[in-house]
Amino acid sequence: MMTIEARLAELGIVLPQAAAPVASYQPVVVANGLAHISGQLPFVAGELVKGRLGEDVSLEQGYDAARACGLMIIAQIRAAGIALDNVARVVKLGAFINSTPDFTDQPKVANGASELMFEVFGDLGRHARSAVGVPVLPLGAAVEVDAIIALAAD
């Protein structure tokens, strides 16, 4: 069976460096076998993806931004000292999409993170999810995604 690190290499995925918190919180908290990953912002080529879906960010750019958030979630797991092979299940993703009131494709944007989890973790990456439109996100980000990850018992 292929390791997750080998799977990332096979897919050509290089994880970004885990972002430091921008406020007073922990990026990852493990409790009762679950890793709670704080909301991650989308950095593409080192730049924060800013703007609003339905205004100045396209659906494709939003999808890519959500995928970037997913990459950062995986990077945060690794940075917390959790072996990626200890991911027993991606339980839930919460996707927050900075969007105009008439934009209704939040689920299509959130698919960027969701599809990445399946790509990397296979069936263990299938998860519950919420995809919510919001009027603003920290630092003007286009998307923010948080996660709950079940960990294998040591």
Domain of 86?
Answer: 4-13+28-151
Distance CA 33, CA 80 (A): 14
pLDDT at position 37: 98
Considering the domain boundaries, does residue 68 fall inside one?
A: yes
The two three-digit tokens of residue 64, written as one number: 């890519």
CA distances from 59 to 75, 81, 124, 137 (A): 24, 34, 27, 17
| Position 128 confidence tier, pLDDT thresholds 50, 70, 90 | very high
- 47 found inside a domain: yes
Residue 153's pLDDT is 84
Check residue 1 and give its pLDDT: 73
- Across the chain, mean pLDDT equals 96
Q: Is residue 87 part of a domain?
A: yes
Q: How many domains is the chain partitioned into structurally? A: 1
Q: Which domain CATH number covers 136?
A: 3.30.1330.40
Domain contains 88: yes
**β pairing state of 43-44 and 87-98:** unpaired
The answer to whether 114 touches 151, Cβ cutoff 8 Å, is: no
Whether the pLDDT of residue 154 is over 90: the answer is no
**Residue 20 placed within a domain:** no
Residue 78: what residue type?
R
Q: What is the mean pLDDT of residues 44-63?
A: 96
Residue 19, domain member (yes or no): no
